[in-house]
Amino acid sequence: MNQFEYIRTTDSKAAIKAMTKTGEAQFLAGGTNLVDLMKMRIVVPDRLIDINPLPLRDIEKTLTGLRIGALASNSEVAEHPLVKKNYPLLSLAINAGASAQLRNMATTGGNMMQRTRCPYFFDVTLPCNKRSPGSGCSALEGYNRMHAIFGASTACIAVNPSDMSVGMATLDAVVHVSGPKGDRSMKFTDFHRLPGNEPQKDNNLLPGELIIAVDLPASRYPQNVAYVKVRDRNSYAFALISVAAALDIRDGIIHTASLGMGGVAHKPWRLTAAEAFLAGKKPVDENFRKAAAISMEGAKAYVLNKFKLTMAPNAIRAALQQAAAKA
């Protein structure tokens, strides 16, 4: 690891200010991704701004929903009584990711900033447009088993690895950020971006912006939820495909559905067409199968991830079945 200037602060504005000075700076929260990236020489910051002392750890009720501080750890969120009661999908999604130790360290904001697991991104000797813009995409014709089937570009076919983010996106969360030019908010689904021609940009944060909190709206899915994660071992592995499913079933009819998918795109992938299809339908397998099929429109696979074209709709179906079965 390189030497860097280490700054610790208890004040958000000071942290943001420190971020805008010359040289590459990084906010350090849980460190579970950033420290690894620094060890692998993928991120070589001149300055680390340790934001752990910032007062952004609280999880508190808002008028309609719940506010999760950006520094609330993944395990604090997953285990929080209000999350478990009102947003069980988020608990399931978070606990499907990483390990108990990592979830104790990783923060809500840090998880959102998590970089891709594409092997070429991690190998500084090989071309990767995300790590080294313009160098090329090694995954396009390489080992792309884990890669995207939606929204990719010729510049990058990497996927976002976060489970938490799939849960947040599915639950219509809103992100609050603060930056040199003030505070602003955006939908969680607008936080991450597709690679396009600038795969080096994972998200829509502006320079110097700091994630402050994530708001969850009023709970709509306290009951019929499921998070299905298909992976190469039964725990502690990144998703081949993951599906977050939430159903609001009233009198045997799906009132609303919310669906998100992980392991398929550069961002958490909302399945809005399937959601629209399911609204007003019966929660039966025939409809789940159709919803799954609708979700796959526009999917494009590469040499080694063709299986995702089958696995994804199957996982959607499995998640919907599980969600509907929860009594």
Partner 1 sequence: MKKVVIGESVSRVDGRLKVTGGAHYSGEYPLPNLAYGVLVPASVTSGTIVDIDSKAAAGSPGVRAVITHFNAPRVPGYQAGAAKPVRGLKLFADNKIYFNGQPIALVVADTFEQATFAAGLIKAKYNRESFATDFRSNLEKGVTPQGGRYKDYARGDASLLDNAPVKIKQEYSLPSEMHNPMELHVTTAWWDGDDRVTLYTKSQGVISSQRSIAAAFDIPEKNVQINSRFVGGAFGSSLRTWPHEVAAVQAAKMLKRPVKLTLTREQMFTLVGYRPLTIQKIGLGANTDGSLIAITHESVSQSAVYEEFTENSVNISRFLYASPNVMTRYKIVPLNVGVPTPMRGPGEATGAFALECALDELSYVLKMDPIALRLKNYTESDPERNLPWSSKHLKECYEVGMEKIGWSNRPAVPRSLKDGEWLVGYGVGCGAFGAYRGKANAKIKLLPDGTVIIQSATSDIGPGTGTAMTVIAADILGLPTDKITFELGDSSLPVAPTQGGSATVSSVGSAVHDVCTAFKKKIYGLTGKPEDSTEAIAWSELLPKLNLPYLELSQESQGNDTAKNYSMYSFSAHFAKVYVHPLTGMMQVKQIFATVDAGKIVSHKTAASQMIGGAVGGLGMAMTEEAVIDDRYGRLVNGNFADYHVPVNADVQQIDAYFTDKPDPIINPVGTKGIGEISLIGVAPALANAIYNATGVRIRDLPITPDKILEGEEKLG
Partner 2 sequence: MARKKIPVAPDGDTTSASRRDFIKQSSLLTAIALAPGSVIKAAEERWDEKFAGIFEKLPLHLEVNGVKHTLSVEPRVTLLDLLREELQLTGTKKGCDRGQCGACTVHVDGKRVNSCLSLAITNEGKKITTIEGLADGDKLHPMQEAFIKHDGFQCGYCTSGQIMSGVACIKEGHAGSPEEIREFMSGNICRCGAYTNIVKAISEVKQGGMS
Do residues 23 and 43 lie in contact, with contact meaning Cβ atoms separated by under 8 Å? no
Q: Which is nearer to partner 2, 152 or 239 (CB)?
A: 239
5 binds, among partner 2, partner 1, none (CB under 5 to 8 A by kind): partner 2
- Alpha-carbon span 35 to 72, nearest angstrom: 19
Q: Which residues of 182-211 are buried (b: 16+ CB within 10 A; e: fewer)?
A: eeeeeebbebbbbbeeebebbbebeebbbb
> Applying CB under 8 A, which of residues 20, 64, 197, 235 lies at the interface with partner 1?
235
CB of 241 to partner 2, least distance (A): 19
CB of 39 to partner 2, least distance (A): 7
| 8 lies in the site for partner 2, by CB under 8 A | yes
* Binding test (CB under 8 A) with partner 1, winner from 230, 254, 261, 278: 230
Choosing from 84, 104, 126, 179, the residue that interacts with partner 2 (CB under 8 A) is 104
Site track 66-95 with partner 2 (rule: CB under 8 A), x = hit: ---------x---x---------------x
Which of these ranges, 101-109, 171-179, 208-216, 276-284, lies near partner 2 under the rule CB under 8 A? Answer: 101-109
Task: Compute the Cα dihedral for 313, 308, 267, 215 and give only its sign.
Answer: positive
Cα dihedral value 107, 234, 270, 82, nearest 10: -50
Looking only at residues 11 through 30 of this chain, which bind partner 2 when binding is defined by CB under 8 A? Answer: 11, 14-15, 17-18, 28, 30
Q: Which two tokens stand for residue 17?
A: 């200010």
Question: Taking the C-alpha atoms of 32, 37, 43 and 47 in order, what is their torsion angle to the nearest 10 degrees?
Answer: 40
- Per-residue binder mask for partner 2 (CB under 8 A), 29-68, x = binder: -xxx--xx-xxx-------x-x-x----------------
Instruction: Pick the binder of partner 1 from 25, 152, 226, 240 (CB under 8 A).
Output: 240
Contact by Cβ (8 Å): 160, 268 = yes
* Angstrom distance (rounded) from CA 32 to CA 262: 20
Phi and psi at 208, nearest 5°, equal 85, -5
Residue number with CB closer to partner 1 (71 or 315): 315
**Measured from the CB of residue 100, what is the shortest distance to partner 2 in angstroms?**
5
